[in-house]
Amino acid sequence: MDTGLLLYCRRGFEKECAGEIQQVATDQGVYGYCLVSDNSGYVVYVTQTLAEADKLANNIAFTKLVFSRQMIVIVARLKDLPSDDRISVIVDAASELPVSGDLRVETPDTNEAKELLGFCRKFTVPLRGALRKHGCLLNKEHLKKPVIHLMMLDSSQGFLGYSYPENNSPFFMGIPRLRFPAAAPSRSTLKLEEAILLFVPKDKIETRLAPGMTAVDLGACPGGWTYQLVRRGLFVSAIDNGPMAESLMETGQVTHYMEDGFKFQPQKNVDWMICDMVEKPIMVADLMGDWLAKGWCRATIFNLKLPMKKRFVEVYKCLDHIEAKLRKKGLRYEIQCKHLYHDREEVTVSVRIIG
């Protein structure tokens, strides 16, 4: 292969990532094939020409891809890089790169590949200098220009490519680095934090998650998700038979109902409903669709726990189910779904009613 798209994904989800890109590329009228290696943490979608790969990188909305953490146009597959002069070979391959504003030297997200991160960090400095001299990297970082990615598989091989800043993940390796807040009662707080970071635009966060707003958290215990809303000043009804963290109850912003999340009805409509209940994905999707269609909430973020098989098919079945409910009600909405870095066997969905 010479060119195509390079997609990063969670290790073990290569088939889902491949199934998805195959479908959306075909929808764009680009016919290629996937190179998939189990547990590699990435997928290559091979196209006939660089122009086709570039077309996909422009036309496929990165936010619509559930299983991809990053989308990169490949300009060269690098093999047998000589250990005494990798840079010359990479610079030779760089002629197809657009003039870019940033460089990331990365690896797939696997334990073996991550051992290379020290090498990547050190290698970035001389490579940046060489690419600047070559003219394909601007002398100053420019966040509106393409990003050059060198993805190393080991110290002698990898891929060279670029992504578009308005249609990529802004994070190194496609992974947001979040620090666990010491006051949060569970690690899953990071899932909701990442979801908010991804799904709520920075300039909208203060209006969409404003102090004084109301929310319901279905399957709330011990309160990692509730914590994210409480710290933004929201008032939360937490639904779960388990115990909520005392620290959250002491804020006075949380009311705990020991009820079944599938039967609970809010006394008043709320701004937000979040849900992390472990249940069959289609049952959760059905419940989420009902809450939105009935107007019980205006926005939601929830998890769909994935079955072992047919994970890709199941996710799209659930999203279709929710959308059909909303369309039937004539509602306008925005829906996004992503396999987050902090998600394991699950994906996270955001739906917002518009207007």
Ligand X SMILES: C[S@@+](CC[C@H](N)C(=O)[O-])C[C@H]1O[C@@H](n2cnc3c(N)ncnc32)[C@H](O)[C@@H]1O
Query: Which residues would be at the binding site for ligand X (CB under 6 A)?
Result: 186, 188-189, 219-225, 239-242, 260-262, 276-278
Pairing of strands 254-257, 270-275: unpaired
DSSP secondary structure string, 129-190?
HHHHHHTSB-SS--TTS-EEEEEEEETTEEEEEEE-GGGS--SGGG----PPPTT-SSTTHH
Identity of the residue, 16 or 240, whose beta carbon is nearer to ligand X in the bound complex: 240
Identity of the residue, 32 or 223, whose beta carbon is nearer to ligand X in the bound complex: 223
Residue 122 buriedness (CB in 10 A; 0-12 / 13-18 / 19+): exposed
DSSP 8-class letter at 51: H
Identity of the residue, 144 or 263, whose beta carbon is nearer to ligand X in the bound complex: 263
Identity of the residue, 8 or 302, whose beta carbon is nearer to ligand X in the bound complex: 302
Closest distance between ligand X and the C-beta of residue 291, in Å? 14
What's the rounded Cα separation, in Å, for the pair 48 and 71?
17
Identity of the residue, 108 or 222, whose beta carbon is nearer to ligand X in the bound complex: 222
Closest distance between ligand X and the C-beta of residue 245, in Å? 8
Alpha-carbon torsion angle 55, 94, 79, 62, nearest 10: -30
Contact assessment for residue 96 and residue 136, using Cβ atoms and an 8 Å cutoff = no
Closest distance between ligand X and the C-beta of residue 239, in Å? 5
Tell me the catalytic residues.
305
Closest distance between ligand X and the C-beta of residue 277, in Å? 4
Pairing of strands 42-46, 4-8: antiparallel
Closest distance between ligand X and the C-beta of residue 274, in Å? 8
Residue where the block lists tokens 């969409």: 208
Identity of the residue, 113 or 248, whose beta carbon is nearer to ligand X in the bound complex: 248
Closest distance between ligand X and the C-beta of residue 243, in Å? 9
What's the rounded Cα separation, in Å, for the pair 195 and 348?
7
DSSP 8-class letter at 100: B
Contact assessment for residue 3 and residue 61, using Cβ atoms and an 8 Å cutoff = no
Task: Give the list of residues 6+ apart from residue 255 with CB closer than 8 angstroms, or none.
Answer: 235, 236, 237, 238
